[in-house]
Amino acid sequence: MSVRTVLRTPFTRRTWSEAAYCVVGLPPALVGFVLVLVLLAVGTALTLSLLGAVVGLLLLTAALGLARVLAAAQRGLAARLLGERLPGPPPVPAASGPLGRLDVRLRDGAGWRSAGYVLAKLPLAAVQLYAVLGLWVATLLNLSLPLRWGLLGQYPDHGGGAEASVVNPLPFGGGAPHITTFGGTWVAFAIGVGLLLVAPWPARGAVAMDRWLLHGLLGPGALESRVRDLEETRALAVDDSAALLRRLERDLHDGAQVRLVALAMSLDMLREGLGADPGTDAPAAGGARTEGGAEGARAEGAGTEGARTDGVRGDEGGRSPVDAARLRRLADTAHRNATEALSELRDLARGIHPPALDDGLPDALDTLAARSVLPVRLTVDLPRRPTPAIETIAYFCAAELLTNAIKHSGARGVEVEAAQRDGAIRLRVTDDGRGGATLGGGLTGLLQRVRTVDGGLDVDSPEGGPTVVTVTLPPHA
């Protein structure tokens, strides 16, 4: 961790959001703990009795329903202050009959997990509140001691000498130094500065524990997550394939096809300008034309008077001399159309499968780095070659991330690292730009691409930089 990060942390938006989360989390945690615990305890006790079993089961279902409501509120609070957006659990399945509905609610796994979170939240919320108020209050009191001593006169000397104590934020280890002079207050001020740098981290640790509970108890279960991911990735794969086919059709129709039609028309006009081969029978009035250039061509029968072609005028005695300049222009046009069509087809093929990948991902990444307008430091450690699908995804991710760094980051240099660790391929692109990148736009497209093979994408881009984007892929699809 750099010194710059330590100095900036107390003043970042994340620190204040986490502090607000810790402060406002205790009251609902206390209320939810009491209500759910009472309902569960009374419901369990009545269920174990002979006379109150029905009422006890109803209280248990009420506790689970209340826990679901409290858990939804907690997910909303975490989304607003922590940026943790967890999908809610599926609704309780419908059932027929009172006993069926009661059975379904009592076997509601999401409800029991929500109740577990509500009960675990109270002690954690107490720790979070103390981590914020204890440290920050001690920090402010120590920092303000010189001001309170010298300017506000809170510690006047009544003959026995003024005295103040440095505020200790810990609940143990007393013996904080006592201040008896104004000069000594600056010792408290220095301690306050140290506490200011330390204050965000205990709260961050307590919030990290809360995040773990949120994901473990309030997030979807492992099976539900897997099913949801498979459904989403399947839909994305289908949509991506359909979009690719549409793009190929559009590029072929609007690009290469148009140029090839223009080429065919130019060659047709060139052939008519040169006239028929003397050794063969003359074609009937313009002959057969290439399909792309045949529009408007009509067979009028042999011997039709006044048959004309563009730039060449027929008469009864035969054809006039060939317009050489016009034929050269037609040939130039045909050559240009053929060249552009070949170029577009080559770009289209490269967009489907880059030729650089034929020799493997390291060579392809080296080609990307060599073509970049920014200096790129490339590190590749891939002892085993991934499957072609994984190589293609990794290549396009690297290309997109390099393009984003060049266009949007204002970076002076980029570092690309591709390594195989712990059975996974990690592609990390780091730039020294302005930071502030979020998971949106092009990065969302990359996330959708990597999720089709159960990969992941992580973005770490604080304001001021650097931006680090890590793509994790399996070695095979």
pLDDT digits (tens, 9 = 90+) for 176-221: 677 777 777 888 888 888 888 888 899 899 999 999 999 888 876 6
- pLDDT > 90: percent of the chain: 25
Q: What is the pLDDT of residue 166?
A: 76
- Using CA of residue 7, residue 13, residue 14, residue 17, what is the dihedral sign? positive
Question: Which structure tokens are listed for 106?
Answer: 């009592």
Q: What is the pLDDT of residue 9?
A: 85
**Most confident range, picked from 83-87, 123-127, 223-227:** 123-127
Q: What is the pLDDT of residue 338?
A: 76
Q: What is the pLDDT of residue 196?
A: 87
Q: What is the pLDDT of residue 315?
A: 44
Question: Which structure tokens are listed for 429?
Answer: 């692109």
Taking residues 404-432, report their average pLDDT.
91
Residue 277 has pLDDT above 50, yes or no: no
Question: Which structure tokens are listed for 309?
Answer: 């072609």
Q: What is the pLDDT of residue 194?
A: 87
- Residues 100-106: contacts with CB under 8 Å, at least 24 apart: 102/57, 102/58, 102/61, 105/61, 105/64, 105/65, 106/57, 106/60, 106/61, 106/64
Taking residues 317-326, report their average pLDDT.
59
pLDDT digits (tens, 9 = 90+) for 444-475: 888 888 887 888 899 998 888 889 999 999 88
Residue 304 has pLDDT above 80, yes or no: no
Instruction: Please tell me the least confidently modeled range out of 215-219, 333-337, 410-414.
Output: 333-337
Q: Give one DSSP letter per residue of 324-377, joined into a string.
A: HHHHHHHHHHHHHHHHHHHHHHHHHHHHHS-GGGGG-HHHHHHHHHHH-SS-EE
Residue 390 has pLDDT above 80, yes or no: yes
Q: What is the pLDDT of residue 291?
A: 40
Residue 383 has pLDDT above 50, yes or no: yes
**How do strand 376-381 and strand 318-319 relate by DSSP bridges?**
unpaired
C-alpha 344/C-alpha 379 separation (Å) is 32
Question: Which structure tokens are listed for 229?
Answer: 């991911």
Torsion of CA 35, 40, 43, 44, to 10 degrees: -160
How big is the CA angle at 311 (ends 306 and 312), to the nearest 5 degrees?
45
pLDDT digits (tens, 9 = 90+) for 357-370: 788 899 999 998 99
Residue 79 has pLDDT above 70, yes or no: yes
Torsion of CA 382, 383, 388, 392, to 10 degrees: 10
Question: Which structure tokens are listed for 182?
Answer: 């104004």
Q: What is the pLDDT of residue 292?
A: 39
Q: What is the pLDDT of residue 309?
A: 39
* Residue 159 CB burial class (10 angstroms; 0-12, 13-18, ≥19): exposed
C-alpha 379/C-alpha 457 separation (Å) is 19
> What's this model's pTM, rounded to 2 decimal places?
0.51
Q: What is the pLDDT of residue 6?
A: 78
Q: What is the pLDDT of residue 316?
A: 41
What does the mean pLDDT of the chain come to?
A: 78
- Using CA of residue 401, residue 402, residue 403, residue 407, what is the dihedral sign? positive
Q: What is the pLDDT of residue 284?
A: 39
pLDDT digits (tens, 9 = 90+) for 123-168: 999 999 988 888 888 888 888 888 877 665 555 544 445 567 777 7
pLDDT digits (tens, 9 = 90+) for 35-77: 999 999 999 999 888 778 889 899 999 999 999 999 999 999 9
Of residues 359, 387, 380, 362, the one with CA closest to residue 475: 387
C-alpha 216/C-alpha 194 separation (Å) is 35
pLDDT digits (tens, 9 = 90+) for 424-451: 999 999 999 888 888 776 788 888 888 8
